[in-house]
Amino acid sequence: MEGVDAAVTDAAEPATRIRLGIAYDGTNFNGWARQPGLRTVQGVLEQALHTLFRRHEPPPTLTVAGRTDAGVHALGQVAHVDLSPQQAVALLNPRKPRNAARDTDAAAALRRRLTGILGAADSDVVVTGAELAEPGFDARFSALWRRYEYRVADAAAPKNPLTRFNTVWHPAALDVDAMDAASSTLLGLHDFAAYCKPREGATTIRTLQAFAWRRGADGVLTASLQADAFCHSMVRALVGACVAVGEGRLRIEDLALLRDVGQRTSAFKVMPAKGLTLMEVGYPHGAELAARAEQTRARRVLEPRLDGRGGLT
């Protein structure tokens, strides 16, 4: 693209899709999704894009792997952005003198420019990586899984003020072995309506691929959860149910029983947002990206199951 003037770029040329890695401290954000009058991660990043491409309207927008709630953090968020041919050419600045330093591709240039606008020294949102997306890549629909961690410092853990923004302090002692046993009963493809905040028209069927608890060397309890996707408040509800088990207020087997009832309950509390961090998003490779996107767009349904007597449940 070097040496090509934007004015003569073929308007029919396809957009350049760039995959972005993003990390943020969610403390001072009202979640990911842009909202009028509120500071959000998407809003801050898209304002930076608007600043960068103010001469090349319309400014590009972001598509994200998973929207996070207010106060939730991320180390491994993924998004994509589509640049018009003119925007991609502008990033590479073909009019720079031949002896001047140049970015080798639009992705590297975009990351460098966004970092400069966001403020590299003291920003609560960072673009951690940028690369040209593989054909068929969609940050949201191509994802195979999302992995979160949740941190709880119970009565047995020392309270570290340096982690107060990403760790929930819990006053009671918790039985981590009981919590770990309870979490394993929830694995698999299920309707998690009991653990989700309802949204009209949205499915609550998910595959919970991994859910485990451990107590770290610092005494903090950490839950690790992985699923094909999570519905609204699902992770914090699952963690809250396990905390109730750890306190002895619920039995290990109660978590699956509550799930199968399929209705929201007051048997446990949804945990605060600040203990939650999106750690990683997993994707297939090559031709599987587009196929996965098509599969994800299809509405999830539970397959009928035999009840043991030849009937269906």
Q: Which residues contact 10 (CB under 8 A, 6 or more apart)?
A: 85
- Catalytic residue numbers? 69
The dihedrals phi and psi of 114, each to the nearest 5 degrees, come to -65, -40
**Residue-level pLDDT at 296:** 84
Residue 218 lies in a domain: yes
What is the domain count for the chain?
Answer: 2
pLDDT at 210: 98
Q: What is the pLDDT of residue 14?
A: 85
Count the Cβ atoms, other than its own, within 10 Å of residue 154: 21
Q: Which domain holds residue 26?
A: 11-132
Q: What is the pLDDT of residue 94?
A: 55
Q: Residue 43: which residues within 8 A CB-CB, separation 6 or more?
A: 34, 35
Within this chain, do residues 127 and 150 fall inside the same structural domain, yes or no? no
Do 102 and 174 sit in the same domain of this protein? no
Report pLDDT for 259.
96
Strand partners, 146: 227, 281
Q: Are residues 128 and 150 in the same domain?
A: no
Those residues whose C-beta lies under 8 Å from the C-beta of residue 182, and which sit 6 or more positions away, are 241, 242, 245, 250, 252, 254, 255
**Is 31 a domain residue?**
yes
| Residues 57, 33 within the same domain | yes
List the beta bridge partners of residue 23: 126
pLDDT of residue 12: 59
In a domain, 47, yes or no: yes
Per-run averaged pLDDT (10 residues), the chain, 313 residues: 39 84 98 96 97 92 96 98 93 60 77 92 94 96 97 96 97 97 98 90 91 97 97 96 98 97 92 98 93 79 44 34
In a domain? residue 54: yes
Q: Note the pTM of the prediction, 2 decimals.
A: 0.88
CATH number assigned to the domain comprising residue 266: 3.30.70.660
